A and B are shown apart, each in its own frame.
Chain A
Amino acid sequence: MSAAPARERPGDPAYNFAYLDEQTKRMIRRGLLKAVAIPGYQVPFASREMPLPYGWGTGGIQVTASIIGPEDRLKVIDQGADDTTNAVSIRRFFHRVTEVETTEETADATVIQTRHRIPERDLTENQILVYQVPIPEPLRQLEPREAECRKIHAWQEYGVMHVGLYEDIARWGHIARTYDYPVMVGGRYLMAPSPIPKFDNPKMTKMAALQLFGAGREKRLYAIPPHTDVKSLDFEDHPFEVQKWDETCGLCGAEDSFLDEVILDDAGGHMYVCSDSDFCRHRRDAGHRGAMAGHEAVRVLTEQVS
């Protein structure tokens, strides 16, 4: 074969742009188009081997790889933070294979790949949120037969999903499920929102940004188009509620964000901080101070964060 001069393209020359070959990206985009056309419906796709283990975000990075272009700005978060192992590795991976700009600023990013959180800041029409999904089938715990699950989805026989919620109330007096809380998308399909805390469920409804979900091991894609109705399941006498904290963020004093507990020493010392590190940094830059601000342990922590 004659060696045609390689076209100038960004990224590691050993790989195609964004790692996946063009045919694979087209295949995934076709799946995504179908997913967007049928909100909440799980579209099967031929998931590829990716250079990281299943469970670390193989579905998410395949989706990101097929939609990202050289002009995009990528943000990757894991548990809300930009500086955790998974987030750092995936960000570095995409920088290597695409040379796109990466950012920690939620507002600046055009594509945000996430694991376990939705950013606190409202997203816009110009952004796409990509979720990493371990178990796309919301009925899996109740109905082990895949063929039966498909029938239940096809005919909307979703009543059985409430059995799990009933059990929670019977045992704990309230719906104790705190993450991967099942939702109805567009009044039609039951959907697992990936293991985000139920605190984030209300953000999914009528969100301006496009939400894409990729499950690599289970080989499923699904999507919520912008401004789509997403309703969390509940009972008439036990309405859906999100988590609440008595504490505020120790660093920025936020009262309305999702908080993580951080252990400070071996003597039971602990504090609560925003799980969304970008949100917390912005608040601190704007002059908000939490109860622990200026504390020695916190100084070390914030220096690492920002």
Chain B
Amino acid sequence: MSAPLLQVEALNQRFGRIEACRDIDFVMHPGEVIGIVGESGSGKTTLLKCLAGRQVPTSGRVLYDMRVKGPTDLYALSEPERRLLMRTDLGYVTQNPRDALRMGISAGGNVGERLMVNGARHYGAIRDTASDWLERVELDPGRIDDRPATYSGGMQQRLQIAKTLVVNPRLVFMDEPTGGLDVSVQARLLDLLRGLVRELGLSAVIVTHDLAVARLLADRLMVMRRGEVVEQGLTDQVLDDPHHPYTQLLVSSVLQP
């Protein structure tokens, strides 16, 4: 088995009196998709930010298997090194696409920005890649010069995914990628994500409170409650045979249409 891509050791995050994440340990291998589920306020997003290099944890280590250096603590890197890693190897999809997109810049500019930030200086090549990616996320390449403000919520989310994946990251973090979308759009987005993850061999950590999303996308599941991981295991195992009372409650709360 290949070396782990991400190792989290005794990660703690406190905000004053509040313990957002407590003693979190897990290992993630290349190509794995891990789902984090739990009720709101359970520390899912905080954990994701800590993993993604966006929030310095109070204590503990996040070891990422860098291409050259091997496993390195994200927070032991200097800030420019970490920023370089974040814009080449890591991707982050926010719940609200308007937080990640430049609303005053065209869709092509938004996708191309990631390429230009990483040094692309050939307009034609940038545009071709951007147009190709719009197609892959099922957006009309004819609208490449339209601003994201003219896109619907679901289209903006797909644009954000294109913008994240265009630089071929190895590890993508997604915070409620389907939150706030209507069910049919959610289904298509999930289909798309599943296809892309399998096709590109991406590793991903997906935060969600929607168990259906978790079952569809995640290989493994971590259930969080009050900052702690109360149960983890293979997705089907956790969802079909929940052990922890909270997980049992969570699974039994899903509405059956």
* Residues on A facing B (Cβ under 8 Å): 142, 151, 154-155, 157, 159-160, 162-163, 166-167, 169-171, 235-238
Other A-B pairs beyond A159-B117, A236-B122, 15, CB < 8 Å: A151-B79, A155-B79, A157-B117, A159-B119, A160-B117, A162-B116, A163-B112, A163-B113, A166-B109, A166-B123, A170-B127, A171-B145, A235-B121, A236-B123, A238-B123
Nearest 3 interchain pairs by C-beta: A159-B117, A235-B123, A155-B80
Residue with the greatest number of chain B CB neighbours at <10 A, chosen from A159, A162, A166, A236: A166
A151 vs B79: C-alpha distance when bound (angstroms): 10
User: B123, A169: Cβ atoms under 8 Å?
Assistant: yes
Docked complex Cα distance between A78 and B245 (Å): 77
Given contacts A159-B116, A160-B117, contact A170 B108 (CB under 8 A): yes
How far, in angstroms, from A105 to B97 measured CA to CA in the complex?
Answer: 57
Give A169 to B105 CA distance when docked, in angstroms.
12
Q: Which of B80, B116, B124 contacts A160 (CB 8 A)?
A: B116
Interface residues of B (CB under 8 A from A): 79-80, 83, 102, 105-106, 108-109, 112-113, 116-124, 126-127, 144-145
Cross-chain pairs A/B with CB under 8 angstroms, 18 sampled: A142-B102, A151-B83, A160-B116, A160-B117, A162-B116, A163-B105, A163-B109, A163-B112, A166-B109, A166-B112, A166-B116, A167-B106, A170-B109, A235-B122, A236-B121, A236-B123, A237-B122, A238-B123
Interface pair B102/A163, CB less than 8 Å apart: yes
Main secondary structure of the interface of A (DSSP, over half): helix
Distance, CA A151 to CA B78, complexed state (A): 13
Residues in B with CB closer than 8 Å to A167 are: 105-106, 109
How far is the CB of A170 from the nearest CB of chain B, in Å?
A: 5
CA distance A151 to B109 in the complex (A): 22
- The interface residues of chain A lying within 8 Å CB-to-CB of B126 are 166
Which residues of A lie under 8 Å from residue B124 when comparing CB positions? Answer: 237
Contacts of B105 in A (CB 8 A): 163, 167
Picked from B80, B106, B117, B122, the residue with its CB within 8 Å of the CB of A170 is: B106
Interface contact B121-A162, CB-CB below 8 Å:
yes
